[in-house]
Amino acid sequence: MEYSPVVRDFLLCSGTTIPMYLTLIILGLAALIDTSNQSGCYGDINRVDSTGASCQTAKAEGLKYCGVPASQKIAEKDLTRMNKYKDIIKSAGRKQCVDPAVIAGIISRESHAGAALDANGWDTSFSQSRCYRNINGVDTTGASCQTARSEGLIYCGVPASQKIAERDLTRMNKYKGIIKSAGRKLCVDPAVIAGIISRESHAGAALTHDGWDERRNGFGLMQIDRRSYPQLTRPWNSEAHLIQGTQILVKMITTIQRKFPRWTKEQQLKGGISAYNAGPRNVQTYADMDIGTTHNDYANDVVARAQFYKKNGY
């Protein structure tokens, strides 16, 4: 393949093998610069005004504050990984007369310095528009007091959901590999799958030896109802079962997307989680979507549990 001088210079920098994702990002930037009518360099990044990250971006990163402090915190989290590429970033910036800090800022936003990419450098972020958004960006009130009491807790809300999820964590980790695989195949955040599993079966602790609930209507880790889905995929704790359950979840999310097209993706995700329990017809408004679900808190509880699992490697 014949490369332009810009591409050739970049590929020769540092004499090392350059990861595909970094090549694509910086070559894309170089292509943009090649078409610029500007001469010389492009100004000092420290003189550019900025309002920083929006609250939506900050929430997606698990932060409770927005603006410049949020952007700086996210960049700080990426710093150790970014430093691995510091030399080639500076080399590319020097050759194209672009401040390396600008390149690093783009890399942090686009890929978290590679953390949001798979082994081949492709995007695996569940916050992209082709998927169903990042669970950390979904608001939640957590478990109702009824759910909390049934778990032996004297407090309610998000802390209760997190405590219940924490109790299930050791068992959940037995299935971490297949949960992440099912999520990747269906473009659903594995933390959401884990949140549903915790709510539905306590990662298997609430099931019989062959994977049924006490009434033998719900089956498997994700408690698929045999009355609605008689063709159950076995075994009850297999990836095939998780794929079937996650496909049902995706169907619920897409139904809510059609029903409420003006809702944000995060709101539609939460609505889909609620519908997984009580069906899409039960979802009438965003504020009251959980009315009619088990203990009237299903989506809020699952979201809070999922956010716990997100912080614990899912």
Torsion-angle region of 203 (φ positive above 0: left; ψ -120 to 50: alpha; else: beta): left
Q: Which of 61, 110, 151, 200 is catalytic?
A: 200
Q: Rounded to an integer, what distance in angstroms lies between the CA atom of residue 182 and that of residue 246?
A: 8
User: Is residue 245 left, alpha or beta, with left meaning phi > 0 and alpha meaning psi from -120 to 50?
Assistant: alpha
218: part of which helix (H) or strand (E)? strand 218-219
Rounded distance, CA 40 to CA 38, Å?
7
**Of residues 144, 179, 139, 138, the one with CA closest to residue 161:** 144
Closest CA to 280 of 250, 246, 243, 302: 250
Q: What is the H or E stretch that residue 146 is in?
A: helix 145-150
Active site residue 166: no
Helix or strand holding residue 250 (H, E) = helix 239-259
What residues are labeled active site? Answer: 200
